[in-house]
Structure formats: C-alpha cells, structure tokens
Amino acid sequence: MKSEHRKRGNSGQALIVTALIITLMWMSTVYYVLETEKETVSIISTADFDFSVTKVSTRNTLISALANASNGGDKEALTTDLEKLSSTLHAHSYEAEVDLSFTPLNTTPYQDGMWISWGEEGSGLSSAYVSFAINVSGSAANYYLAYETNVTTALHIDGVCADEGSEKRVNMTCTIYDENGPALAKTISILYQNQTDGSWLSVDQQNNLAIVDFGNGTYGISFLAYSQGPIKVSAQINDLRGIFAMANVTCVQA
C-alpha cells in the first residue's frame, strides 16, 4: 500500500522532468531557427547597420596619415593610426561588437598603403590605399562589409617661358585633383632653377608673381625669372585637407 502510494507520488516528478525535457527541446529548436535567421540576414543585407560612421572615420584617418607622410612625417603612422581607430571603435561599441580590420595595399607602386611620387615630368602624386573589413556582431544580427578607401592628391603642371628684356616671363598652368576629381589648393609655392642642378629660388612678389584661381582646380601662374638658359619650375601644393604634393617641369621656350 505504502509502495503504491510512493509510486503514485513519483508520477508528479516524472511529469516535471518530462516538461523540462520538452521545454529544452523547444528552446533548442527556437535557438537553432533564430541562429539560422541571423546568418541569413548577414548575407543578404548589410543596409540595416549604418556603416557610414566607420567609413567616414577610416577615410579621415587615411587623410591624416597621408597629410603627415607627405609633409615629411612617418609613413608608418598609417598603420598606427588605423590600429588606434580599430581599438577605439571596438571599445565604444555597446549594442554590438564592432571589429575593424585593415590591409594596406602592397601592390606596386603602393608600399604599405602609400604611394608618393613627385616626378620631374610635370606630374606629382601622394596617395594612400587601404582595404577594410567591418564585422558587426549584434544580439539580433551579424553584419559584414568589405570596402576599399583611396585618398589621393595629384597635380599636373606645364609651363612656357618667353624673353622679356633681361628676364624671362614664365606662364604656368597647375591642375590639382583628388580622388573625386578637380580639387582646390590651400597653399601653392612656386620655385625655379635658373641653371641645371643650381639652387632652387623661391618665387615671390619680387618676381611679379600672379596666381589666378579658375575655381575648378586649375590655376594660372605667371612670374618673372632671372635666367637666360632653360628654366625648370616646381610647384608645391597643399590641398584643402593638408596633403602635400609637388611636381617639376622644364619650361618650353615660346
């Protein structure tokens, strides 16, 4: 009688255990379905997460590093600054874990994400190129975006010179570009060399320097040079972002 009573009493425990097992099965199924959905979202859509802030930050970092390197600073600043940005983004992502990884371009002519070429043929260029990947792991979804950022400042100059008494009148055209097209200069410095391998002389108001800004990235430059032989001119510019580039060219006698 007593054992029968105990037998009956055990059935409640069995019921609870069964309920727990079924609940666990349900929960694992729900968890599986949620995880599967999460993966699908990350593949199909990246639009739900706003990547614009990270994109702007990475671009600004490239501009800073290129401005630094082109003005004589350390070229390794690019990697250091991007590492700093990556750790800051990771530390300040609260609702989702943000991981930013980057690979500076190492394909010729780029080296460690930088290409600085200030040529003698009238063209000069300062450029940085880095590939990025952002992984966002949120509670509701995961997102992934891979993109590349290129920051470039380039200039092209050509010039003609004509005799003007004992001096020469130099007329130059300087065109500035960035990665999006024509760009404006913050500063333009002109130098000339009055003999081959001679010292470079800075052009200022004493040379009747006149710079006309056409507003479309093209500048007309005119000055007087004290020289009888061929004149080599150099234009050194800083664009509005502070990126430096320069180019040299030998003026054609008109």
Partner 1 sequence: MRLLKDNKGQIRVIEAFFASILLLSVLTLVSAPRNAKNTSDQNLISIGQNALLTLDNNGYLSKLIENESWTTLRECMQSSFPPTVWFNLTVFNEDSTVLNDILISSGSPINEKIVSLDYVCASQSQSYGIYLIRLQLSVVS
- Give the residues lining the site for partner 1 (CB under 8 A): 11, 14-15, 18-20, 22-23, 26-27, 30, 50, 52-53, 56-58, 60-61, 63-65, 67-68, 71, 73, 77, 81, 84-85, 88-89, 92, 94, 139-140, 241-242
CB-nearer residue toward partner 1: 85 or 130: 85
Q: How far is the CB of 186 from partner 1 (least distance, A)?
A: 12
Can the peptide bond before residue 109 be classed as cis, meaning omega within 30 degrees of 0?
A: yes
CB-nearer residue toward partner 1: 57 or 194: 57
Q: How far is the CB of 11 from partner 1 (least distance, A)?
A: 7
Q: How far is the CB of 30 from partner 1 (least distance, A)?
A: 8
Q: How far is the CB of 202 from partner 1 (least distance, A)?
A: 23
178 - beta bridge partners? 153, 181
CB-nearer residue toward partner 1: 151 or 225: 151
CB-nearer residue toward partner 1: 16 or 43: 16
CB-nearer residue toward partner 1: 30 or 146: 30
Q: Considering only the C-alpha atoms of the chain, give the largest distance between any 2 of them, rounded to a whole number of Å.
A: 133
Helix H or strand E encompassing 123: strand 123-138
Q: How far is the CB of 108 from partner 1 (least distance, A)?
A: 27
CB-nearer residue toward partner 1: 77 or 161: 77
Helix H or strand E encompassing 53: helix 52-70
98 - beta bridge partners? 136
Distance in angstroms (rounded) separating the CA atoms of residues 249 and 230: 11
Under DSSP, the state recorded for 111 is B
SS3 of residue 92 by DSSP: coil
Q: How far is the CB of 188 from partner 1 (least distance, A)?
A: 19
Amino acid at 5: H
CA-CA-CA-CA torsion for 174, 180, 184, 187, nearest 10 degrees? -80
Nearest to 126 by CA among 162, 157, 90, 152: 152
